């Protein structure tokens, strides 16, 4: 029998606010242990948490970007658990009245992964387990998080990867988080179950905690899918439990024993008052959102005639898409701009981090100027390409590399002479062409291009050569 | 009714060790606490919610950094500390 994978995600994203959620301590990553702390974020008795306005604004931005409904009334709750990463023995979170309800993330196959809700909460401290004891650093304690809870709508590992990438992309676009999985500013818990293909009933799920890379998410899900399938095939039953994924062995293992089963006893936090969100405020925040990646991608394909694959590459990172938008200003062929970015610039920004920054030596205005020279018929595409290479390597502008004479193009007579010359000096290619080898003409055109130093129009040269030979 | 199992469960969740011989008296104490708290249920009300009795809403801070405490101050009440960290001993 074949089995279907069913998965849902709980994604924690650290918000890029300057200060923590309930106090004025900095949210900066790193720092000496326990130096970004105050009585509020280490949970001393008698302290009063006060909600950071920006956390609410950022969460609303997130909600709008994934088509969620912004609640009119939201409240904070206490989630009780006893563990050293949380000195108060409760985490301030939201259960009964979260800020954002519903929403979805649309995948490239057209499927919509529905979201259950998005809530805000405080992050816990960092634990270092050493010599059997635990060392606690509360710098991260109280850093604001949003938790995005999806419905169990994911049906394959590819969908899971794309879901996480899409969330990461959109949250970076709207500027609420850097979503660096390796630094822990984005972390996923994956709920996974299997069921016989065609069945409607959900199987028993397990939860893999704290996944910190897309590669590991994929590997852990693959392992867990196999494990659960094998278990059911051999007559066993999946036990609902929380698992950890071990990168070194590529396996999952149980994190807690049964007796440790969580009972969070949530209740309303009496220290924090109700949050009312007016529709006016929501509209104001909506007006500050940038064009979202999905909309941009659609516009590039439909209005600028960029191939879908290229449009996806251009919109993957916000800075690249903004570079493209600026460089396209008033050009006749956005496709040329796109080709130069993907061809010449991507080879110089190889890592994800480089693409994220997209600090290339040529400005969008310089690329714009270069492409307009092609538009105006002043230079040919291949001269532009080689010029761009020089611009990128040296950081200098177009006019440093293209002289006035380069921009003259080639007149009819000069083209004629060069074509004649190409035919006379390459009898073998001419012979090949005459005997039916269509491709042999390319060698002759190449000869003309070379001798004209890229100034000739290849299409015109090919026509002229054919005319001479026949 | 508070049962012995309730007390055991709460102790487990709170990571507290309760000796067998104290279970009965703790169960009774907890029952008394719950009974006392339950008297509030007898207060005459018109059924409205009491979770926001001040009728306050939208009390916010601006996102402005305030100087944090030094790690010495932060750790000054720690029962145990090491290398600028709170130290939690494993009792198992």
Per-residue pLDDT tens over the stretch A11-44:
999 999 999 999 999 999 889 999 999 999 999 9
Pairing of strands A51-52, B60-61: parallel
Those of residues 10-29 in A touching chain B at CB distance below 8 A are: 17-19, 23-26
pLDDT at A4: 96
Q: The tokens 């590039």 sit on which residue?
A: A300
B10 touching A (Cβ < 8 Å): no
Model confidence pLDDT, tens digit, residues A43-55: 999 999 999 999 9
pLDDT mean over A287-313: 94
Phi-psi region of A265 (alpha: psi -120 to 50; beta: other; left: phi over 0): left
Asked if B74 and A17 come within 8 Å (Cβ–Cβ), the reply is no
Identify which of A50, A136, A259 has the shortest CB distance to residue B59. A50
A47 touching B (Cβ < 8 Å): no
Q: With 0-12 CB in 10 A as exposed, 13-18 as middle and 19+ as buried, what is A389?
A: middle
| Residue A206: both structure tokens together | 């397990």
Helix orientation angle between A381-394 and A364-375, rounded to the nearest 10 degrees: 160
Asked if B14 and A32 come within 8 Å (Cβ–Cβ), the reply is no
Nearest Cα of chain A lies from the Cα of B39 at a distance, in angstroms, of: 20
Where exactly does CATH 1.10.10.410 map onto chain A? Answer: 412-469
A101 touching B (Cβ < 8 Å): no
A38 touching B (Cβ < 8 Å): yes
Interface mutation vs chain B, best among A273, A277, A278, most B CBs within 10 Å: A273
Model confidence pLDDT, tens digit, residues A226-247: 999 999 999 999 999 899 999 8
| Residue A39: both structure tokens together | 């009585």
How confident is residue A259, by pLDDT bands cut at 50, 70 and 90? very low
pLDDT mean over A247-266: 77
B12 touching A (Cβ < 8 Å): yes
Nearest Cα of chain B lies from the Cα of A81 at a distance, in angstroms, of: 7
| Residue A293: both structure tokens together | 């990646």
B28 touching A (Cβ < 8 Å): no
Q: Provide the whole-model pTM.
A: 0.83
How confident is residue A325, by pLDDT bands cut at 50, 70 and 90? very high
Identify which of A33, A42, A82 has the shortest CB distance to residue B84. A33
B75 touching A (Cβ < 8 Å): yes
Q: With 0-12 CB in 10 A as exposed, 13-18 as middle and 19+ as buried, what is A83?
A: middle
pLDDT at A440: 85
Asked if B70 and A35 come within 8 Å (Cβ–Cβ), the reply is yes
Helix (H, G, I), strand (E, B), or coil: what is residue A188?
Answer: strand
Chain B residues with CB inside 8 Å of A75's CB? 51
* Paired residues of A52 in beta bridges: B61
Where is pLDDT greater, at B43 or A88? A88
Model confidence pLDDT, tens digit, residues A154-203: 999 999 999 999 999 999 999 999 999 988 999 999 999 999 999 999 99
Where is pLDDT greater, at A416 or A303? A303
A312 vs A360: CA distance, rounded Å = 20
Nearest Cα of chain A lies from the Cα of B91 at a distance, in angstroms, of: 9
Among A240, A216, A149, A145, which residue's Cα sits nearest to residue A185?
A145
Those of residues 359-398 in A touching chain B at CB distance below 8 A are: none
Could you report the predicted ipTM of this complex, rounded to two decimals?
0.87
Least confident of A45-54, A71-80, A198-207, A260-269: A260-269
Asked if A53 and B63 come within 8 Å (Cβ–Cβ), the reply is yes
How confident is residue A288, by pLDDT bands cut at 50, 70 and 90? very high
- Look over chain A and give the mean of its residue pLDDT values, rounded to a whole number: 91
Helix orientation angle between A157-173 and A53-65, rounded to the nearest 10 degrees: 130
Chosen CATH of A412-469 out of 1.10.1040.10, 3.30.420.40, 1.10.3720.10, 1.10.10.410: 1.10.10.410
pLDDT at A405: 57
Which of the residue ranges A311-320, A416-425, A427-436 has the most confident prediction, judged by mean pLDDT? A311-320
| Residue A239: both structure tokens together | 């036990």
% of chain A residues with pLDDT over 70:
96
pLDDT mean over A393-404: 75
Asked if B60 and A50 come within 8 Å (Cβ–Cβ), the reply is yes
Using alpha carbons only, what angle is made at residue A445 by residues A442 and A451, rounded to the nearest 5 degrees? 140
Interface mutation vs chain B, best among A16, A17, A18, A24, most B CBs within 10 Å: A24
- Rounded to a whole number of angstroms, the CA Rg of chain B reads 22
How confident is residue A262, by pLDDT bands cut at 50, 70 and 90? low
Asked if B9 and A263 come within 8 Å (Cβ–Cβ), the reply is yes
Strands (E), B33-82: 60-61, 81-82
pLDDT at A403: 67
């Amino acid at each position: 029998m074949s089995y279907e994978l069913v998965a849902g995600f709980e994604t924690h994203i650290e918000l890029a606010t300057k200060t923590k959620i309930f106090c004025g301590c900095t949210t900066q990553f790193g720092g000496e242990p326990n130096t970004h702390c105050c009585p509020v974020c280490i949970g001393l008795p008698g302290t009063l948490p006060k909600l950071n306005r920006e956390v609410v604004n950022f969460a609303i931005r997130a909600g709008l970007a994934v088509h969620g409904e912004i609640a009119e009334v939201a409240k904070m709750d206490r989630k009780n658990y006893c563990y050293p990463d949380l000195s108060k023995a409760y985490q301030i979170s939201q259960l009964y009245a979260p800020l954002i309800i519903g929403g979805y993330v649309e995948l490239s196959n057209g499927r919509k992964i529905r979201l259950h809700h998005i809530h805000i909460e405080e992050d816990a401290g960092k634990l270092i387990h050493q010599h059997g004891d635990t060392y606690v650093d509360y710098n991260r304690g109280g850093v604001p998080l949003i938790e995005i809870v999806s419905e169990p709508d994911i049906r394959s590992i590819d969908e899971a990867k794309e879901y996480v990438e899409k969330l990461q992309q959109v949250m970076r676009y709207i500027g609420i988080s850097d979503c660096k999985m390796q630094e822990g500013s984005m972390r996923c818990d994956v709920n996974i179950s299997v069921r016989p293909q065609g069945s409607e009933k959900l199987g028993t799920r397990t939860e893999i905690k704290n996944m910190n890379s897309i590669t590991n998410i994929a590997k852990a899900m693959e392992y867990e899918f196999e494990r659960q399938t094998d278990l059911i095939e051999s007559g066993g039953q999946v036990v609902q439990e929380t698992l950890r994924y071990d990168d070194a062995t590529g396996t999952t293992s149980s994190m807690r024993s049964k007796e440790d089963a969580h009972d969070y006893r949530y209740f309303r936090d009496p220290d924090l008052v109700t949050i009312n969100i007016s529709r006016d405020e929501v509209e104001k925040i909506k007006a500050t959102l940038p064009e979202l990646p999905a909309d941009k991608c659609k516009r590039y394909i439909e209005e600028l005639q960029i191939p879908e694959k290229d449009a996806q590459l251009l919109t993957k990172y916000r800075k690249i898409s903004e570079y493209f938008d600026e460089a396209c200003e008033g050009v006749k062929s956005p496709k040329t701009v796109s080709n130069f970015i993907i061809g010449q610039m991507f080879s110089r920004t190889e890592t994800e981090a480089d693409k994220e920054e997209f600090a290339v030596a040529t400005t969008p205005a310089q690329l714009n100027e270069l492409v307009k020279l092609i538009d105006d018929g002043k230079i040919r595409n291949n001269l532009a390409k080689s010029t761009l290479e020089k611009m990128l390597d040296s950081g200098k502008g177009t006019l440093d590399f293209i002289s006035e004479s380069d921009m003259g193009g080639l007149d009819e007579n000069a083209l004629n002479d060069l074509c004649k010359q190409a035919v006379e000096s390459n009898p073998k290619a001419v012979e090949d062409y005459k005997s039916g080898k269509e491709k042999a003409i390319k060698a002759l055109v190449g000869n003309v291009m070379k001798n004209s130093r890229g100034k000739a129009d290849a299409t015109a040269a090919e026509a002229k050569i054919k005319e001479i030979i026949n | 009714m508070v049962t012995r199992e309730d007390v055991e469960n709460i102790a487990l969740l709170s990571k507290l060790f309760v000796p067998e011989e104290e279970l009965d008296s703790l169960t009774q104490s907890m029952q008394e606490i719950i009974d006392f708290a339950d008297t509030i249920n007898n207060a005459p009300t018109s059924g409205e919610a009491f979770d926001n009795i001040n009728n306050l809403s939208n009390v916010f801070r601006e996102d402005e950094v305030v100087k944090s405490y030094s790690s010495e101050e932060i750790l000054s009440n720690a029962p145990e500390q090491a290398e600028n960290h709170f130290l939690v001993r494993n009792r198992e």
